[in-house]
């Protein structure tokens, strides 16, 4: 047999390798053909050894061990092209590590034979044999006892080349290629080796020495037991190549001096580089089958187990970052698999952590000024697919690439596995529940942090920034209906998804400088947010359109900066994320309370319905209610972990604090709302802003005050409460009275009687200069303005709003500076008279309704207490009475709460302020109201107000009588006594006698106070006698002398703009309630009334004539 030359042997071996891959589909990726020169196409490997041709000089690769990367989180998003090109890369302890490969060749160092640390050619070859676990000397591979190959694999063909060559191989790259190629051929023909797994408790033996058993490669590189792995040839090849890459680092660690200079450094660099290139061939399916972009990649087990060699992944990306087709072939299956895999996971286990961290680390790999994996991600067909159904929002969560990552949730509606894992028992103790909550909150924070890293890298990477911003804006656009009070959850993203996205945006906007935000961004032609159809702070839709034409620049202007877009996207994300979630959470709590009440009532009424023909249906209904109650309790426990997350709520508070700061800069560009009143000319931009910018903030403050009051007390959140105060004192800046009412509610909840934990904050707010000078008149004005809001429910809404104001006033009255302001208002203007008029109207209505409810409750309880009367009723009527009683009890509680506070306000105001209560237009009505209610409490029918357990409704008749009689004493004067005498409907001498008896029996007044009350009674009686003596019958009064409303004789007629003539006192009293003409409902003010002097002269003359004739 003739001897073959080395070149012939090499050609035959290449042919065998190509033939072994001939089964691959013709559509397989085209990768560079392995040759003695290189494996990696366009990328130049490190330099050859000093044995190669001296003219060639290649760059040497730096060691990956010291590489690191700093993630930029500056306030202005810095692109990768702006970053320092010398910035080092990520050094990840988990095994997925990055490594910079220098692009600039270094001049080859000439060998200095005097340096003893330089390796000889033989030492280099022995080192390579150790790296690749091979040998061309068969005798060196056998164990003495059993013949087992354990020191290295004997490469027969490589040995033949070495034996046939006239000179030993001197081209290190050629030698390395021959080693790898022949080993891969042997691995292709051997069965897949057993896969070794490790658990969390079992440390990985990643750097243990591997060995061969025949042609089967035995690697100690272990995989996580969480990862499902199928042994395959590709997996074997990849394990071998990664082990070889790892052994290069071991050699460098063992001989740091020798491996840091040529020829050893060049040889190891080539070895490392070729391991990466052959791995790319393997991952591309060059040795087995065509690699589908959505198929399974053998790289996945290594990634999920975090056991890749340090620097391997980074060098793989760097090597092919300019070959996008190959990069797609390698990483598309990985990216798609991670998205599919995490979609099957939930927070019920910790398996989600691996795919999430892998995706974050892949995105962080940087090459030059680009992040290649980020580029691949936004080029995926499912990055942001076009919608295919009406479920626009849900498609974003379920069908997009990043949707499953952002969709990890604790809410029962999003993932029932969380309920099944943690909350099967809804009766668990509070301590156990909070232990679970904290665990889930920690998991959520980890998810949000990793998602932030993914998004942050996508935004740092210049080529993918636009696609990422478009993704975020489309998510918000397709979920815009979440801002509605009611929406169909089936068509929109889940609560968990939206809160995760919101948290990511919060982290992105943390350090944005407010001075760099373009406040006109919502109106830009290139804006990514939509405010069409939204109610504005001040403008109507027509006014917004006109203002926009005059003030918004053309679309040719410079595009807004990232800081502006990020801030407003974050603000709009809060609108469709945290606010709907908190509303839903509170609705669920109300539903649980209502359902518990229904169950209790039905169980209590069981003796009545169990004997009815419908008893079985009632039992079934009770069973359904109990089942629904359990489900609601479990979903509530899940929501507790998602909504009451302190870290998330604090981020929301911080963001809304900055939003408040921005709104104050817009409303008052000069002083930034440090003084009130604000400028009378309202900035057009502020008027055009959506009112939900302010309303959402108020809603969230209310939620935080209830569930996390401590966070709001922190000093850095003061701008929010300061903005609330400023807007309350500048109500002309807001068109919607219900938005002002929301701000009033915020101030109401801050009161110590409502939320004791905010007493310090409330005192600081009320004692501020703005509050002392402007809050009392502003709240008084709003108290009267809410009489008419334009809404269909305005009649009942005003009572709730006024109740909130009364609680605020009660606290302010205890502060001397505010008490002085109350008295100033009472002396200086008619605003206080209007306020007192509304106070009287409310007191009259609320006390009437409360006492009527008490009477109905008394009647039903009387019937129930009489067995004969109750049994005489039919079962249906008994159930009807029971339901009516429950309804009356609820109404009575509400009305008495409102009435008590209103009467209390009358009480403390009248201690220092008297005159405004006794003006002509109010005095008679005030005394009539007081006398009527005194009659209800002390008259002959007072027994009808006696009910069982009065404290259940807040009914305290002694306290109410004490307050009412105090008001009589506070207002005691001649005017007041005359006004009482004018009340012909309710006042009787016996009424005051009964009241005195009740006060003495209840011991609610001192003897001096009772004496003063008796003295008031005597004076009233004296005025009454005088009044009867002075009265005379005028007979028929001419129609022109009569008031058209009250049909009484006019004494001070005035002419209305409509031409109608009325008595001044009557029209003034009407204007206190409504600023309109009572005959045509046109706006009317007191200043427009004109005295009818001619008619007055006629009336006076007629009266004089009648007096003389009598």
Mean pLDDT of 343-369: 94
What's the confidence (pLDDT) of residue 193?
57
Q: Which of these ranges, 391-395, 570-574, 882-886, has the smallest mean pLDDT?
A: 882-886
What's the confidence (pLDDT) of residue 878?
85
The pTM score is 0.85
Q: How confident is the model at residue 14 (pLDDT cuts 50, 70, 90)?
A: low
Identify any residues that bridge with 1049 across adjacent strands, giving them in sequence order: 1042
Q: Which of these ranges, 93-107, 345-359, 562-576, has the smallest mean pLDDT?
A: 93-107
Residues 927-951 have pLDDT tens digits of 999 999 999 999 888 888 899 989 9
Mean pLDDT of 557-580: 93
Rounded to an integer, what distance in angstroms lies between the CA atom of residue 783 and that of residue 800?
11
Q: How far from 625 is each of 620, 863, 884, 936, 960, CA to CA, in Å?
A: 9, 30, 21, 42, 40
**812: preceding bond cis by omega (within 30 degrees):** no
N-term to C-term CA, the chain: 161
Q: What is the share, in percent, of the chain residues with pLDDT greater than 90?
A: 56
Helices (H), 1003-1063: 1007-1030
Q: Which residues of 371-402 are buried (b: 16+ CB within 10 A; e: fewer)?
A: bbbbbbbbebeebbeeeeeebbbbbbbebbbb
Rounded to an integer, what distance in angstroms lies between the CA atom of residue 229 and that of residue 227?
6
What's the confidence (pLDDT) of residue 20?
45
Number of helices and strands in the chain (H, E): 43, 9
Taking the mean position of all CA atoms in its chain, how far away is CA 27? 48
Residues 818-875 have pLDDT tens digits of 999 999 999 886 789 889 999 999 999 999 999 999 999 999 999 999 889 888 988 8
Rounded to an integer, what distance in angstroms lies between the CA atom of residue 67 and that of residue 69?
7
> Which distant-in-sequence residues (6+ apart) come within 8 Å of 406 by Cβ?
397, 451, 497, 500, 501, 504
Q: How confident is the model at residue 93 (pLDDT cuts 50, 70, 90)?
A: very low
Mean pLDDT of 1057-1073: 88
Q: Which of these ranges, 107-111, 310-314, 575-579, has the smallest mean pLDDT?
A: 107-111
Rounded to an integer, what distance in angstroms lies between the CA atom of residue 844 and that of residue 928?
10
CA angle (684 as vertex; 682, 685 as ends), nearest 5: 115
Mean pLDDT of 577-594: 96
pLDDT at 717 over 70: yes
Q: Does domain 1039-1109 have CATH number 3.40.50.10490?
A: no
> Which distant-in-sequence residues (6+ apart) come within 8 Å of 380 by Cβ?
332, 335, 336, 401
Rounded to an integer, what distance in angstroms lies between the CA atom of residue 161 and that of residue 5?
8
Q: How confident is the model at residue 165 (pLDDT cuts 50, 70, 90)?
A: low
* Domain boundary assignment for the chain: 118-320, 341-514+564-609, 646-828, 867-1030, 1039-1109
Identify any residues that bridge with 40 across adjacent strands, giving them in sequence order: none
What's the confidence (pLDDT) of residue 108?
45
Rounded to an integer, what distance in angstroms lies between the CA atom of residue 293 and that of residue 50?
42
């Amino acid at each position: 047999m003739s001897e073959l030359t080395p070149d012939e042997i090499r050609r035959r071996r290449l042919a065998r390798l190509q033939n072994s891959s001939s089964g691959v589909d013709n559509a397989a990726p085209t990768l560079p053909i392995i040759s003695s020169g290189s494996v990696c196409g366009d990328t130049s490997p490190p330099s050859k050894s000093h044995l190669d041709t001296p003219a060639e000089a290649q760059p040497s690769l730096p060691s990956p061990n010291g590489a690191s990367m700093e993630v930029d989180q500056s306030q202005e998003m810095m692109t990768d092209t702006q970053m320092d090109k010398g910035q080092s890369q990520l050094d990840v302890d988990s095994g997925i590590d990055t490594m910079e490969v220098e692009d600039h060749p270094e001049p080859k160092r000439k060998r200095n034979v005097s340096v003893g640390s330089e390796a000889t050619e033989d030492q280099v070859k022995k080192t390579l044999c150790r790296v690749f676990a091979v040998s061309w000397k068969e005798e060196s591979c056998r164990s003495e006892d059993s013949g087992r190959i354990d020191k290295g694999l004997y490469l027969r063909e490589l040995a033949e080349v070495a034996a046939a060559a006239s000179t030993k191989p001197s081209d290190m790259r050629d030698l390395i290629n021959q080693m790898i190629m022949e080993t891969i051929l042997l691995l292709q023909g051997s069965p897949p080796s057993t896969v070794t797994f490790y658990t969390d408790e079992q440390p990985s033996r990643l750097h243990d020495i591997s060995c061969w058993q025949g042609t089967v490669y035995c690697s100690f590189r272990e995989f996580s037991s969480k990862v499902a792995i199928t042994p395959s040839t590709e997996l074997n090849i990849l394990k071998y190549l990664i082990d070889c890459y790892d052994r290069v680092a071991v050699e460098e660690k063992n001989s740091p001096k020798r491996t840091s200079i040529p020829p050893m450094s060049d040889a190891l660099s080539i070895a490392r580089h070729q391991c990466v290139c052959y791995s790319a061939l393997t991952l591309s399916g060059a040795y087995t089958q065509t690699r589908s972009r959505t198929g399974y990649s053998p790289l996945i087990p290594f990634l999920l187990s975090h056991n890749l060699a340090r620097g391997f992944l980074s060098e793989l990306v760097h090597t092919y970052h300019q070959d996008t087709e190959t990069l797609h072939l390698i990483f598309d299956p990985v990216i798609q698999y991670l998205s599919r895999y995490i979609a099957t996971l939930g927070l019920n286990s910790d398996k989600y952590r691996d795919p999430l961290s892998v995706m974050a680390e892949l995105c962080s790999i940087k090459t030059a000024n680009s992040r290649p994996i980020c580029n691949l991600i936004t080029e995926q067909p499912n990055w942001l697919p076009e919608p295919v159904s009406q479920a626009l929002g849900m498609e974003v969560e379920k069908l997009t690439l990043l949707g499953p990552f952002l969709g990890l949730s604790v809410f029962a509606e999003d993932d029932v596995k969380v309920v099944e894992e943690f909350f099967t028992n809804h009766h668990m103790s509070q301590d156990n529940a909070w232990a679970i909550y904290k665990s889930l909150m920690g998991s959520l924070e980890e998810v949000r942090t990793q998602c932030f890293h993914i998004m942050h890298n996508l935004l740092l990477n210049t080529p993918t920034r636009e696609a990422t911003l478009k993704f975020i804006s489309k998510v918000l656009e397709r979920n815009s209906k979440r801002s509605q009070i009611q929406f169909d959850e089936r068509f929109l993203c889940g609560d968990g998804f939206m809160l995760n996205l919101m948290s990511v945006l919060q982290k992105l906007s943390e350090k944005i400088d407010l001075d760099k935000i373009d406040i006109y961004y919502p109106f830009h032609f290139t804006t990514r947010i939509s405010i069409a159809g939204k109610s504005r702070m001040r403008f109507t839709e027509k006014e917004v359109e006109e203002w926009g034409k005059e003030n918004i620049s053309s679309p040719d202007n410079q595009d807004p900066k990232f800081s502006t877009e990020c801030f407003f996207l974050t603000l709009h994300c809060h609108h469709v994320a945290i606010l709907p979630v908190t509303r839903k959470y509170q609705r669920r709590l109300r539903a649980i309370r209502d359902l518990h009440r229904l169950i209790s009532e039905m169980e209590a009424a069981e003796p009545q319905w169990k004997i009815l023909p419908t008893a079985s249906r009632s039992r079934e209904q009770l069973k359904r209610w109990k089942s629904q109650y359990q489900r609601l309790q479990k979903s509530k426990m899940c929501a507790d972990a998602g909504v009451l997350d302190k870290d998330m709520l604090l981020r929301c508070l911080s963001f809304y604090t900055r939003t408040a700061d921005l709104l104050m800069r817009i409303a008052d560009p000069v002083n930034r709302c440090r003084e009130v009143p604000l400028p009378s000319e309202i900035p057009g931009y502020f008027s055009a802003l959506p009112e939900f910018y302010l309303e959402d903030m108020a809603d969230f403050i209310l939620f935080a005050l209830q569930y996390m009051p401590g966070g709001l007390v922190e000093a850095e959140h003061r701008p929010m409460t300061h903005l609330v105060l400023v807007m309350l004192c500048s109500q002309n800046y807001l068109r919607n009275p219900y938005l002002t009412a929301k701000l009033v509610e915020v101030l109401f909840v801050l009161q110590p009687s409502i939320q004791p934990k905010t007493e310090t904050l409330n005192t600081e707010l009320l004692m501020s200069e703005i509050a002392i000078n402007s809050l009392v008149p502003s709240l008084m004005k709003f108290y009267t303005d809410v009489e008419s809001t334009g809404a269909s429910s305005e009649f009942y809404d005003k009572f709730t709003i006024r109740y909130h104001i009364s609680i605020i006033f009660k606290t302010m009255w205890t502060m001397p500076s505010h008490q002085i302001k109350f008295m100033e208002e009472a002396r200086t203007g008619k605003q206080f008279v209007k306020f007192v008029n509304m106070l009287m109207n409310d007191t009259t209505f609320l006390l009437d309704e409360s006492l009527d409810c008490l009477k109905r409750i008394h009647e039903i309880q009387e019937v129930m207490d009489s067995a004969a009367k109750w049994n005489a009723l039919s079962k249906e009527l008994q159930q009807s009475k029971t339901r009516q009683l429950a309804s009356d009890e609820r109404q009575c509680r509400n009305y008495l709460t409102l009435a008590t506070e209103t009467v209390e306000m009358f009480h403390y105001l009248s201690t220092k302020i008297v005159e405004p209560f006794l003006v002509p237009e109010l005095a008679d009505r005030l005394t009539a109201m007081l006398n009527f209610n005194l009659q209800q409490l002390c008259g002959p029918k007072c027994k009808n107000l006696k009910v069982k357990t009065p404290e259940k409704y807040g009914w305290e008749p002694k306290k109410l009588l004490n307050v009412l009689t105090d008001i009589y004493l506070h207002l005691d004067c001649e005017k007041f006594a005359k006004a009482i005498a004018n009340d012909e409907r309710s006042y009787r001498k016996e009424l005051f006698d009964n009241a005195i008896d009740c006060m003495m029996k209840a011991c609610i007044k001192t003897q001096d106070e009772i004496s003063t009350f008796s003295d008031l009674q005597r004076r009233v009686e004296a005025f009454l006698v005088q009044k009867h003596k002075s009265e005379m019958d005028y007979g028929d009064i001419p129609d022109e002398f009569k008031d058209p409303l009250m049909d009484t004789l006019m004494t001070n007629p005035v002419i209305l703009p409509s031409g109608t003539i009325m008595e001044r006192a009557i029209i003034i009293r009407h204007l206190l309630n409504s600023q309109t003409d009572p005959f045509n409902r046109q706006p009317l003010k007191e200043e427009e009334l004109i005295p009818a002097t001619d008619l007055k002269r006629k009336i006076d003359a007629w009266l004089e004539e009648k007096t003389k004739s009598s």
